[in-house]
Homo-oligomer: A and B are copies of this chain.
Amino acid sequence: MVLGGLFEANGYHSSAWLLPGAQDKAPTDVDYFRRIIQIAEAGLLDFFFLADTPAARTENLDAWTRGPLYMNMLEPITLLSALAGTTAHIGLGATASTSFYEPFNVARLFASLDHISHGRAAWNVVTSANDFAARNFGLDRLPPHDRRYARAREFLHVVRGLWDTWEDDAFIYDKANARMFEPSKFHVLDHQGEFFKVHGALNMARPPQGSPVIFQAGASETGKAFAAETAEVVFGTGATMEEALAFYRDLKGRMPAYNRHPDALKILSGVSIVVGDSEAHAREKWASWQDKVHIDIGLLYLKTDLETDLSDLPLDEPVPPHRVPATSNHHQVYFQEIAGLIHQGLTLREVCRRYNRSKAIFFGDAAQVADQMQAWVEAGACDGFMIAFPVLPDSLVEFTTQVVPELQRRGLFRTAYQGTTLRDNLGLRRPASRHAR
């Protein structure tokens, strides 16, 4: 079972920062993150993952001041570079947008992180999903979904080409003959495509993993095709086991068309995990956090992910279904989840309260949480989980000290890191250089 952790400063739950134990200034405190990642590594998690958005929000500021997201965070690649030295085994996954970076810079930053961490880097390839980001990079709004993915596909192709500049044994350090490298093992990329023209070569030895591990999270049709062709870890969607199963079968079923074996891709279901003395106790904890979410924040999440503003509607009446836009351009799965809640006839307040960005929530004591995790994996709904810890460090400590031992007792999770690289621990093959003979 693969276990990754999604880390936001005080936790994934938007009320986490309001709780009495929450550390102020956590979003920009590297020492705080050092303590968190050390707990995650002690718990043997496969990787520590940081989501990202390259923009503060510039509207609805009075509402955003109630929520912890988007407005204040360290840049993920620099933060993970800093955390690499505090850890020795846990993978380090950062998000970077193909819409707002140049391929050469991304190739270099992640290759460097892979060297710095001795083979523990992963790149979450995203196309970004908000117009605030677009406006930071010269555009008025985000390009259409399919254009973003077309650029992403070409972008990744260029980045992989640059990572293969040097064969693994190109640098020989032959002092006697004053030859640092073997020129025949150096390969210049000559790419001319729709979005990029790159005639050049990466000025860095091949990354320890050959290629940092490629993460993706897209769940639209285009996103699934892209993932089936190129991804090695996908954050799967599905708030129920049935939805996750359908997603899993769909995505893995697309892989043979790209000559890929299903084992070359690990699908991790996104879940929140709430451990308590009992299921009732865990649910009470969650409810107490939900009670603290100001309705303005709930409405703002809806506005962001449904791409329309519902704040003029009465809170305690059902949302008129005609208010759901005909199409979406941002997170299509989030859009569909909200539309589904509205079509159930829920009130606006209930839609806000139930919406959880396509994540299941596992409640219970350690054994009950382990039961659910085991059931999903054994049913073939996922290869593991991408855990959004609601409250840090508490949710992480509870998980690693209570649920991890239970999973270990059942033989479902490692008792020590097996390999030295993230690829080793994930059971992913190290790609050979395209130029190796």
A residues at B contact (CB < 8 Å): 17-18, 20, 22, 24-25, 27-28, 30, 34, 53-56, 58, 61-62, 65-68, 70-75, 77-79, 81-82, 84-86, 100-102, 104-105, 108-109, 111-113, 115-116, 132-133, 135-138, 165-166, 171, 173, 175, 178-183, 186, 188, 196-205, 292, 294
A295 to chain B, nearest CB (A): 11
Q: B175 to A58, Cβ gap below 8 A? A: no
Q: How far is the CA of A179 from the CA of B24 in the complex (A)?
A: 12
**Quick one: copies of this chain in the complex?**
2
23 interchain pairs, CB-CB under 8 A: A17-B173, A18-B175, A20-B175, A28-B115, A28-B204, A28-B205, A54-B105, A55-B201, A56-B165, A56-B186, A56-B201, A65-B178, A66-B179, A68-B180, A72-B181, A74-B116, A75-B109, A78-B112, A100-B102, A100-B104, A136-B199, A136-B200, A178-B294
Q: How far is the CA of A175 from the CA of B283 in the complex (A)?
A: 23
Q: A53 to B85, Cβ gap below 8 A? A: no
Contact of A179 among B58, B65, B138, B188 (CB under 8 A): B65
Q: A82 to B84, Cβ gap below 8 A? A: yes
Q: Which B residues touch A132, using CB under 8 A?
A: 200
Q: How far is the CA of A132 from the CA of B200 in the complex (A)?
A: 7
A101 to chain B, nearest CB (A): 7
Q: B198 to A65, Cβ gap below 8 A? A: no
Q: Quick one: which of A61, A86, A133 has the most chain B CB within 10 A? A: A61
Given A82-B85, A294-B178, are A72 and B200 neighbors across the interface (CB < 8 Å)? no
Q: Which B residues touch A77, using CB under 8 A?
A: 78, 81, 109
Q: How far is the CA of A102 from the CA of B22 in the complex (A)?
A: 35
Q: A180 to B65, Cβ gap below 8 A? A: yes
Q: A65 to B183, Cβ gap below 8 A? A: yes
Given contacts A30-B85, A54-B105, A101-B105, 7 further A-B contacts (CB under 8 A): A18-B175, A55-B203, A70-B203, A72-B205, A79-B81, A82-B85, A136-B200
Q: How far is the CA of A331 from the CA of B132 in the complex (A)?
A: 38
Q: Quick one: which of A55, A68, A136, A182 has the most chain B CB within 10 A? A: A136
Smallest CB gap from A53: residue in B: B203
Smallest CB gap from A170: residue in B: B72
Q: A79 to B24, Cβ gap below 8 A? A: no
Q: A183 to B66, Cβ gap below 8 A? A: no
Smallest CB gap from A200: residue in B: B136
Q: How far is the CA of A78 from the CA of B82 in the complex (A)?
A: 8
Q: B18 to A178, Cβ gap below 8 A? A: yes
A208 to chain B, nearest CB (A): 9
A386 to chain B, nearest CB (A): 22
Contact of A71 among B85, B102, B196, B203 (CB under 8 A): B203
A150 to chain B, nearest CB (A): 17
Instruction: Give the 6 A-B residue pairs with the shortest CB-CB distance, closest first.
Output: A81-B81, A75-B112, A136-B200, A56-B203, A56-B201, A61-B183
Given A78-B112, A175-B22, are A204 and B58 neighbors across the interface (CB < 8 Å)? no
Q: How far is the CA of A204 from the CA of B53 in the complex (A)?
A: 11
Q: Which B residues touch A179, using CB under 8 A?
A: 65-66
Q: Which B residues touch A105, using CB under 8 A?
A: 54, 100-101, 105
A348 to chain B, nearest CB (A): 20
